[in-house]
Amino acid sequence: MITLEFKLKGKAKQYRVIDEMIRTAQFVRNKTLRYWTENQGVKLVDLYKQCAIMAKEFEWAGKLNSMARQASAERAIFAIQRFFANCKAKKPGKKGYPQFKKHTRSVEYKTSGWLLSTDKRCLTFKDGFAAGKFKLIGNRDLHFYAPDEIKRIRVVRRADGYYAQFCINVEQKEEPILTGKSIGIDVGLNHFYTDSDGKTVANPHYLRKSEKALKRLQKRISRKKKGSSNRRKAINKLGRKHLKVSRQRKDFAIKTALCVVKSSDFVAYEDLQVRNMVKNHKLAKSISDAAWSQFAQWLEYFGKVYDRTVIAVAPQYTSQDCSSCGNTVLKTLSTRTHICGCGTTLDRDHNAGRNILAKGLKQAGITLNTAGHAEINAWGQTELYSLVAASTSKSTD
């Protein structure tokens, strides 16, 4: 499943109709959730029936396409299922009990209620709201995909306009080209990441660089009268700035992950619990700005696309253990150099990267013999992992 996004270009009154569609979808989702709280144990089919009842009870709810109402009900049931899954897994902290939504920003259609033009550059909504025809602004081409491959369309409202996301049921695969290289990646705040070869990528600090502008825009909002049009304009400007920062961060994560995966056959990275790490209020802003979780998600995604092995390893003791002899050398967070009694002196993150790579190879079932080649081949790719083992023999001596 891939998602292609286009900006919707229409008239102001059409955007107001989309706002009504989003509010209706929010109402349906909250109403079905209310039904579940009063009748626990109901299934998705029961919520579908409630959608039909709502369409008859509320005339404006009936304007929304029937499958769009069902998609809103699915959002409620997914929240319920996630809550029970967290309870079953005994997840620490809050389990995420389903909440009623107040600020929904999207509405989702399935295979009906919309129509693409013959040139696939315009999108028309055909349900009771009759939002009309919108021009699709973007550089992706929908001609490559059959109409039945488009399973859902999601309309999203953002600070800078309205967007249509096409969820297409195709498998994206690229022809793998072996590089004979393997790396372990240690993410950090000083550098975005340091790999097992000692190479570093600078941390862009997008939020930090934009803080002055964000504070200035926030101050302008506080000076405007509540409920005034000037205040709404000021809020929109602040939203646009935050949106730009988030897009910069996402673009950096995607390009960096793609570069890592295309240049390596085997990638090991730390499986960090970022949710717990941001509880440290002194580092929370910097950790959030680094977007480690987003980077890890794109590593996993591109690993599947390019048929690479991407493994997440436990982060415990990767910074404290010596990558050469295995002895534990305790260090505080401010100690940036690893100095071991065996004579190894490395940058702290470089040492961690080597440990992460060794952990990843062990977790994948790859061991090294005296010749520096893989003895166990978990996937049957002897040539690939022989190259991987040879390239990492120096790190495990």
In this prediction, residues 135-141 reach a mean pLDDT of 89
The whole-angstrom separation of Cα 373 and Cα 382 is 9
Q: Is the pLDDT of residue 194 over 70?
A: yes
Q: 148: which DSSP letter? A: G
Q: Which long-range contacts (CB under 8 A, 24 or more apart) does 172-179 make?
A: 172/2, 172/305, 173/305, 173/307, 174/305, 174/306, 174/307, 176/306, 176/307, 176/308, 178/265, 178/383, 178/384, 178/387, 179/263, 179/264, 179/265
Q: 147: which DSSP letter? A: G
In this prediction, residues 351-377 reach a mean pLDDT of 67
DSSP state string for 291-339: THHHHHHHHHHHHHHTT-EEEEE--TTTTTB-TTT--B----TT--EEE
Q: Is the pLDDT of residue 81 over 60?
A: yes
Give the pLDDT band (50/70/90) at residue 367: low
Give the pLDDT band (50/70/90) at residue 324: confident
Q: For the chain, give me the number of helices (H) and strands (E)?
A: 11, 14
Tell me the C-alpha to C-alpha distance, in Å, between residue 218 and each of 205, 221, 249: 20, 5, 21
Q: Is the pLDDT of residue 371 over 80?
A: no
The whole-angstrom separation of Cα 32 and Cα 25 is 11
The pLDDT assigned to 238 comes to 94
The whole-angstrom separation of Cα 160 and Cα 143 is 27
Highest mean pLDDT among 131-145, 336-350, 354-368 belongs to: 131-145
Give the pLDDT band (50/70/90) at residue 21: very high
Tokens 């600078």 -> residue: 202
In this prediction, residues 178-198 reach a mean pLDDT of 88
Angle, CA 308 vertex, CA 297 and CA 305 arms, to 5°: 65
End-to-end Cα spacing for the chain: 42
In this prediction, residues 367-374 reach a mean pLDDT of 41
Give the pLDDT band (50/70/90) at residue 366: low
Angle, CA 106 vertex, CA 103 and CA 112 arms, to 5°: 145
Question: Which amino acid type is present at position 227?
Answer: G
Q: Is the pLDDT of residue 355 over 50?
A: yes
> 69 phi and psi, to 5 degrees?
-65, -40
User: Whole-number mean pLDDT of the chain?
Assistant: 85
Higher pLDDT, 381 or 114: 114
Question: What are the boundaries of each domain within the chain?
Answer: 2-168, 182-205+240-396
Q: Is the pLDDT of residue 101 over 80?
A: yes
In this prediction, residues 322-351 reach a mean pLDDT of 83
The pLDDT assigned to 376 comes to 35
Give the pLDDT band (50/70/90) at residue 178: confident
The pLDDT > 70 percentage for the chain reads 92
Which is nearest to 116 in space by CA: 124, 127, 126, 108?
A: 124
The pLDDT assigned to 294 comes to 92
* Element of type H or E holding 30: helix 12-38
Question: Which amino acid type is present at position 54?
Answer: M
Question: Distance from CA of residue 34 to its chain's centroid?
Answer: 29
Tell me the C-alpha to C-alpha distance, in Å, between residue 257 and each of 6, 19, 197, 285, 296: 23, 35, 17, 22, 8
> Would you say 254 and 153 are in contact if contact means Cβ atoms under 8 Å apart?
no
Which is nearest to 269 in space by CA: 336, 183, 328?
A: 183
In this prediction, residues 82-105 reach a mean pLDDT of 88
The residues with which 184 forms a beta bridge, in sequence order, are 268
Q: What residue ranges in 130-252 does DSSP mark as E strands?
A: 132-137, 150-158, 161-168, 182-187, 191-195, 200-202
> 146 phi and psi, to 5 degrees?
-75, 150
Tokens 């998602």 -> residue: 3
Q: What tokens does 376 get?
A: 């166990």
In this prediction, residues 34-45 reach a mean pLDDT of 85
Tokens 């960096």 -> residue: 256
